[in-house]
Amino acid sequence: MKYYDSHAHIDLFLQKMGLLDHGREFDLEDISQNDITYLKYDKNELELYISNHELIIQPTISTNNFYLNFKLFSSDPRFVFLLGSHPDMVNDDFDSDSYLEKQAICIDFIKVNNLIQKKQIVGIGEVGLDYYHVRTEIGQVKQRDFFRSQIELTISLQIPLVIHCRDAFIDLFTILAEYPAINGRFLIHCFTGGVGELEEVLKLGGKISLGGVTTYSSAKGLQEAVKICPIESFVFETDLPFLSPVPKRGEVCQPEFIDFTAQFVADLREVSKEEAWIETRKNLKNLFGV
Pairing of strands 121-130, 79-83: parallel
Give me the count of residues in the chain.
290
Give 29: exposed, middle or buried? Use CB within 10 Å, 0-12, 13-18, 19+: exposed
Angle between helices 137-157 and 169-177 (to 10 degrees): 40
User: What is the model's pLDDT at position 32?
Assistant: 47
Mean pLDDT over 235-263 rounds to 98
CATH of region 3-288: 3.20.20.140
In the chain, % of residues over pLDDT 90: 90
- Helix or strand run (H / E) with residue 126: strand 121-130
Contacts of 276 (CB under 8 A, 6+ apart): 231, 236, 262, 265, 266, 269
Rounded to the nearest 5°, which phi and psi values hold at 153?
A: -65, -45
Rounded to the nearest 5°, which phi and psi values hold at 276?
A: -60, -40
As a whole number of angstroms, the distance between CA 166 and CA 214 comes to 15
Q: Count other C-beta atoms under 10 Å from residue 144's C-beta.
A: 17
**Could you tell me if 13 and 243 are in contact, meaning their C-beta atoms sit under 8 angstroms apart?**
no
Q: Is the pLDDT of residue 38 over 80?
A: no
Q: Is the pLDDT of residue 37 over 60?
A: no
User: What is the model's pLDDT at position 1?
Assistant: 80
Q: Which residues pair with 163 in a beta bridge?
A: 127, 188
